[in-house]
Structure 1
Amino acid sequence: MGNCCRSPAAVAREDVKSSFSGHDNGKRDSSVAAKKAPVTVLAGVPKENIEEKYLLDRELGRGEFGVTYLCIDRGSKELLACKSISKRKLRSAIDVEDVRREVAIMRHLPMNNSIVSLREACEDDNAVHLVMELCEGGELFDRIVARGHYTERAAAAVTRTIVEVVQLCHKHGVIHRDLKPENFLFANKKENSSLKAIDFGLSIFFKPVQMRSNVVVLWPDVAAPL
């Protein structure tokens, strides 16, 4: 499989080490000498070393909080994807709650061919890890760019999948809030590959009486005209 990527734990250790380099020759400032206990994000989930169960290989993608790696189940050898969210980047209680909600929503939604499935969620002292099914076909965005244009029939098939995802989420009390071509992946590289929604980091639960909201979440590049 080639050289394995550094684990999230190793990355976190390097970040900590670099923060104390400079004029003090490695001596820590007294204000940070007291080591803080690592925050616990996932309630009821014992902390464990993810690399005892999975081999984290090359990087597949990177976002504001997380890095997604190719992940190999050491037991079954199944290829998966692992999104590792560094606790160092969870700077507020809101950030922590966002991660908890993302995991809760992925656990809450039923298994469906149009939504990436969560295998398990675990954490250690440095990161929260979401182990998911691997989608090897790339982003919808990249396929649109590669094609240049879609036929009306092909565009209708893609649109149908997106609408079905919205319908399924709303049926189960979830609003995705981040629908864009980059957040839909093809399961494989075949032309007739299934399309799956990913990234529930901005998603929220809602009740029918809460359909109206004063909060607007959008990406200007893909938003409808206001």
Structure 2
Amino acid sequence: MGALKRCAAAAALIVVQSMGTAAQAVTAPSNASTSTSDAALVSQITSRLARANGVRSHFTQTQTLAAMKAPLVSTGSLLFYRERGVIWQVETPYKKTWIMREGGVTVIDAAGQRTANGGAQGARGAAEIAKMMRAMLGGDLSGLYSQFGVEARGTPSQWQMRLVPRQPQIAQALRGIEMEGGDFLSSLRITFANGDVTQYEFSGSAQVSGLAPADEKLFGTPQ
């Protein structure tokens, strides 16, 4: 799924590389682009998201591209487990699995063939993608303020967040990110600088206290 990798790679540019997988407190920003009230709500949101050690969910991805007459839609499931990483499985219109761990990304095709991220540069990019995905799903948004103007509204149980790039380098690729959720992330909308939009809708999200044997097999040896 090139769409996921493209979206994740673009979003990964916005997250500081030191961002870890454990949730951290979000302190009030020193810049004027984010209000103190927004920062307080973001802190409450991250604390709420961080309650779950693991989350299993279904997703629908809709890509709206300027070069395409009709949106591209795919569906599947994901598993986030804080100590191990993210398993992202596309089920329609094709089958493919991405396993995102601290060390990078492994792809499994429909035939069961595994391919690890190749090359030093590819490995670094894949590792950033993995960290970004784990951070966002785990409620670790502590690196946002150095890269974004952050707007948040609603309540911790029903919130919306909008991220606008503050750095010119990021703005060249990304126009903004919008998120909604409550106890779990329910939607993620990425708007690229060229006007392309990728929307993720998450449903049936539930906490996971342990990994099933099939999940352990996909993750492989702990890193």
Q: TM-score, normalised by structure 2?
A: 0.23
Higher percent of residues as strand:
2
**Greater Cα radius of gyration, structure 1 or 2:** 1
Q: TM-score, normalised by structure 1?
A: 0.23
Higher percent of residues as helix:
1
